[in-house]
Amino acid sequence: MSTGEFRIQGLPISDLAAEFGTPLYVYDADVLRDTYQGLRDRMHPAVDIFLSLKANPNISVIGLLGSLGAGAEVSSLAELETARRAGVAPQNTIFLGPGKTRAELEACVSAGLHAIVCESLDELRALDDLAARTNQGPTPVMLRINPDFHTKGSGLAMGGKPRQFGIDVAHVRRSRELLKSLRHVDVMGLHAYMGTRFLHHEDLVHNTREILATARELSAETGIELRTVDFGGGFGIPYFDNESPLDRDALTAGINETVTEFHRDHPDCRLINELGRYLTAPCGTYVTRALQVKESMGEQFVVADGGTNHHMAAVGVGSFVKRNFPIRSLTRYTEQPDRTYTITGPLCTPNDVIGKRVALPEVAVGDLIGVERSGAYGPSASPGLFLSHGFPAEVMVHDGTAHLVRRRDTLDDLLGKQRLVTF
């Protein structure tokens, strides 16, 4: 029944595990490129695709996507610097986030980004003051709006309800005088992001249509120019067995229809579609090694060398019923698993469960277990310091060669920042 071990671009997973150790994140650069290119080829040419670094901040991930033409949406100084070092041009970088520090705003102004996305009118005023003290000319700004239309189908809604993000549309409507009084910011567009994990193309097309309609209305009412409109993203990836993938053709056809209409009236407006999960999740596999296989009160457990400390998302946060991510035996890769195991990590907490009663072939100690579609919200969204295991290595396989793109944390990484005070 076993069909041999899992390979990435011909490389046996056991070789990667031997070379780089486990636990390990492996990214398949072919999948990353094809995911981006597949969307790029279908999306209206007026729409630029940006990677939200939050989903995967690895410099080689944005490096590869940037080389294919993707821009970067960043939310911290380190993400800003990651995009810069990866070779993404400032004109293809935007900075957003509900709580930006003065240091972040200053770095954005001096970097000459395409735009800073302001999330409150107070922030806009502060930025105007700050920009006044530079002699770089007006700083380009998009206002992030919190639209008041209803959105459905998101695993986690970020707009259309009371939120810390963006500026309520009603407040933007009343800001005409303020906008006129600002001299050192150039409010050149609008941004909206409705939420994450949308899996029905109708919902995403609806969001896009409503956001573009709201942008037109606000522009007419307040005089805000529409030189850029970022209509968000939140395209989902199916993780659980009750979910199906987005219909990419129907999704892009629907978005392109509304974009075409908008583009006709605003031919010089740059449109941005910012995506994290959709671009990066499919390329990644979290690879762990089985340390123990044991039975407890009738249930079979595999205790692996990594778990929720590196892959918190796999516990199914954001879904009502906890379900399993796609989990496979990488050592005995098969379509016909005939056993069930609960897969745990090494942490001393009962919550460190990566998958409950997962269908797998027989697992032996030393086997490699993989969590698939794990290239988004992995290590960076996990409590990697819990029990001081530290963060795993990350490897990217490109043209049949495996490259270390983040080394595993060492004892020095983990202990070097602590100070022993003797009393």
Residues that bind ligand PLP (CB under 6 A): 52, 54-55, 96, 193, 196, 232-234, 274-278
Cβ proximity to ligand PLP, 92 vs 344, nearer residue: 92
Cβ proximity to ligand PLP, 280 vs 329, nearer residue: 280
Cβ proximity to ligand PLP, 193 vs 286, nearer residue: 193
**Angstrom distance (rounded) from CA 125 to CA 178:** 9
Q: What single-letter DSSP state applies at residue 185?
A: E
Question: Which CA distances in Å does 40 have to 44, 83, 238?
Answer: 8, 20, 20
Residue 9's Cα: distance from chain center in Å? 24
250: its two tokens: 């129907």
Report the nearest approach of ligand PLP to the CB of residue 274 (Å).
5
Cβ proximity to ligand PLP, 52 vs 344, nearer residue: 52
Cβ proximity to ligand PLP, 247 vs 409, nearer residue: 247
Cβ proximity to ligand PLP, 278 vs 341, nearer residue: 278
Q: Yes or no: say if 154 and 128 are a contact pair by the CB < 8 Å rule.
A: no
Q: What is the 3-state secondary structure (H, E, C) of 258-281?
A: HHHHHHHHCCCCEEEEEECHHHHH
Report the nearest approach of ligand PLP to the CB of residue 356 (Å).
25
Q: 401 forms bridges with which residues in the sheet? A: 398
Q: Which amino acid, residue 112?
A: G
- Residue the block writes with tokens 């000459």: 112
Give the H/E segment covering residue 95.
strand 93-95
Torsion angle (degrees, nearest 10) of CA 35, 409, 76, 160:
60
Report the nearest approach of ligand PLP to the CB of residue 278 (Å).
6
Report the nearest approach of ligand PLP to the CB of residue 282 (Å).
12
Cβ proximity to ligand PLP, 75 vs 331, nearer residue: 75
Give me the residue whose beta carbon is nearest to ligand PLP: 276
232: its two tokens: 């968000």
Report the nearest approach of ligand PLP to the CB of residue 357 (Å).
28
Q: 169 forms bridges with which residues in the sheet? A: none
Report the nearest approach of ligand PLP to the CB of residue 275 (Å).
4
| Alpha-carbon dihedral sign for residues 259, 263, 265, 268 | positive
Q: Decide the pairing of beta strands 270-275 and 353-360.
A: unpaired
Report the nearest approach of ligand PLP to the CB of residue 410 (Å).
30
**Angstrom distance (rounded) from CA 33 to CA 51:** 12
Cβ proximity to ligand PLP, 159 vs 392, nearer residue: 159
231: its two tokens: 């209509």
139: its two tokens: 């700083």
22: its two tokens: 């486990």
Cβ proximity to ligand PLP, 52 vs 120, nearer residue: 52
Report the nearest approach of ligand PLP to the CB of residue 89 (Å).
20
Q: 273 forms bridges with which residues in the sheet? A: 49
Cβ proximity to ligand PLP, 194 vs 369, nearer residue: 194
Report the nearest approach of ligand PLP to the CB of residue 117 (Å).
8
Question: Which CA distances in Å does 304 have to 16, 149, 309, 353, 371?
Answer: 17, 45, 12, 10, 12
Report the nearest approach of ligand PLP to the CB of residue 192 (Å).
9
Distance spanning both ends of the chain, measured CA to CA: 62
